[in-house]
Amino acid sequence: MLVDYMLSQQKVVDAYFEAWRSYDAALLRQLFTADAVYVINACKKYSNIEEIQHYWKRNRARQRDLRVSYVIIDVKKDFTSVHFLANFYNAIDRTNDKIDGEIHFYCMLSKIYRLSEWYVKDQIRAD
C-alpha cells in the first residue's frame, strides 16, 4: 500500500536529517546498507558505509551552527525525493554557506542503498 511506503520513507528521511543535524554516526550506520552508494552532484561518489561515514566526519569538522529544513516532493515504493535548504558556518573556508538542493533516497526494507544529492551553494566570506 502506498500509505505504508510513504510512512516508511518518511521515517527514513526524518532519521537521515536528524543524523545530519546531530552528526550521529551510529544512526547513519543504521540508515544505510553496508554497500550503499552516496553520490553528490553527479561527481563525488562514496561506495560503502565506511566512506560515507568518513565524508560525514569531515562535514562535522567544517559545519557549525547548522540549520536545515526539508520537504518531501515525491514518494514511490522504494524512492523518495526531497528538497532541502541548509545554512551553516564553514569553519574550514571561513564562510557562511547556503545550500539549496535535492536528495533522492533509494530504499529497500527501510535501509538506504543509494542516495543521490544535487545542490547549489552560495558562500559569503565571514571575515
DSSP of 8-72: HHHHHHHHHHHHHHHT-HHHHHHHEEEEEEEEETTTEEE-SHHHHHHHHHHHHHHEEEEEEEEEE
The fold for domain 2-125 equals Nuclear Transport Factor 2; Chain: A, (3.10.450)
Average pLDDT for residues 17-26, to the nearest whole number?
Answer: 94
Tell me the C-alpha distance between 87 and 109, whole Å. 31
21: which 3 cell numbers? 543535524
Asked whether the predicted pLDDT for residue 2 surpasses 60, the reply is: no
**Residue 29: per-residue pLDDT:** 93
Domain spans, the chain: 2-125
* List of residues 6+ apart from 3 with CB closer than 8 A: none
> Mean pLDDT for the chain?
92
**Amino acid at position 118, single letter:** W
**Residue 8: per-residue pLDDT:** 85
Segment 79-105, tens digit of pLDDT: 999 999 999 999 999 999 999 999 999
**Cα-Cα end-to-end distance for the chain:** 53
**Residue 53: per-residue pLDDT:** 94
**Residue 39: per-residue pLDDT:** 98
